[in-house]
Structure 1
Amino acid sequence: MNETVRLTAWVRGVVQGVGFRWFTRATALEIGGLTGFASNLPDGRVQVVAEGERAACERLLAWLEEGDTPGRVDGVTEIWDTPRGGYPTFDIR
């Protein structure tokens, strides 16, 4: 059985003002079973929090790192944790 996890990823590069959060949400919804959000940070990064089955979170992380994302991703830092809940869907903040 696939465990439920929380992925928090910080995406560096040209990721603000290019539709990155919108495409991240669309990809999370396409993968299915994920809740959370994508949010711009003041330092130019985008923070992505996703909760769901590990396989789904790993697919989203792979897309963030190597997918056909808008803008330019220079790197992704991630941490894995226990889900906290509280997200009804996957949103843009």
Structure 2
Amino acid sequence: MSTTKTVSVVITGRVQGVAYRAWTEGEARRRGLSGHVRNRADGAVEALFSGPEAAVDAMVEACREGPAAARVADVAVRPAEAPPGDGFRILG
């Protein structure tokens, strides 16, 4: 039995306008995670990942690289509440 883990992450650097949200959605779905991703007004990308602990940890590590055009400066991680429902989606 795996433990469910939920984290909120804020990714900074060159992460908007480089398909970071679409990349995140694909990677999260491939790992079977629930949650969402969205652009923030300050230029960062914010995501919520929920699922098996190992899959969440792997997703956070993948966010440190992101898609090819991204230049990630930092990934801040903090515990969060599990999102309602299943699936992963891009928000506004």
Both structures adopt the same fold (TM-score exceeding 0.5): yes
Q: Distance in 2 between matches of 1:31 and 1:73?
A: 21
Runs of 4+ in 1 over 6 A off after TM superposition: none
Establish whether residue 19 from structure 1 lines up as the match of residue 19 from structure 2.
yes
What SS does structure 1 have at the residue aligned with 2:89? Answer: strand
Count of aligned pairs = 91
Query: Are the aligned partners of 2:19 and 2:67 in contact in 1 as well (CA < 8 Å)?
Result: no
Amino acid at match of 1:15: V
Q: Distance in 2 between matches of 1:67 and 1:39?
A: 14
What SS does structure 1 have at the residue aligned with 2:77? Answer: strand
Instruction: In structure 2, list runs of 5 or more residues that go unmatched.
Output: none
Query: Are the aligned partners of 2:20 and 2:66 in contact in 1 as well (CA < 8 Å)?
Result: no
Following TM superposition, by how much is the alpha carbon of 1:88 offset from its aligned partner in structure 2, in angstroms? 2.6
Following TM superposition, by how much is the alpha carbon of 1:30 offset from its aligned partner in structure 2, in angstroms? 1.2
Deviations 1:19-48, CA, capped at 9 Å, x for gaps: 00000000011112x100010000000001
Deviates more, 1:68-77 or 1:21-30: 68-77
Q: Distance in 2 between matches of 1:6 and 1:73?
A: 21
Alignment of 1:1-93 (within 5 A): 1-32=1-32, 34-66=33-65, 68-83=67-82, 85-93=83-91
Normalising to structure 2: TM-score of the pair?
0.89
Are the structure 2 counterparts of residues 46 and 5 from structure 1 closer, same or farther at C-alpha, using a change threshold of 3 Å? same
Instruction: In structure 1, list runs of 5 or more residues that go unmatched.
Output: none
Amino acid at match of 1:30: R
Identity %: 30
Normalising to structure 1: TM-score of the pair?
0.88
Amino acid at match of 2:19: G
CA-based RMSD of the aligned residues comes to: 1.5
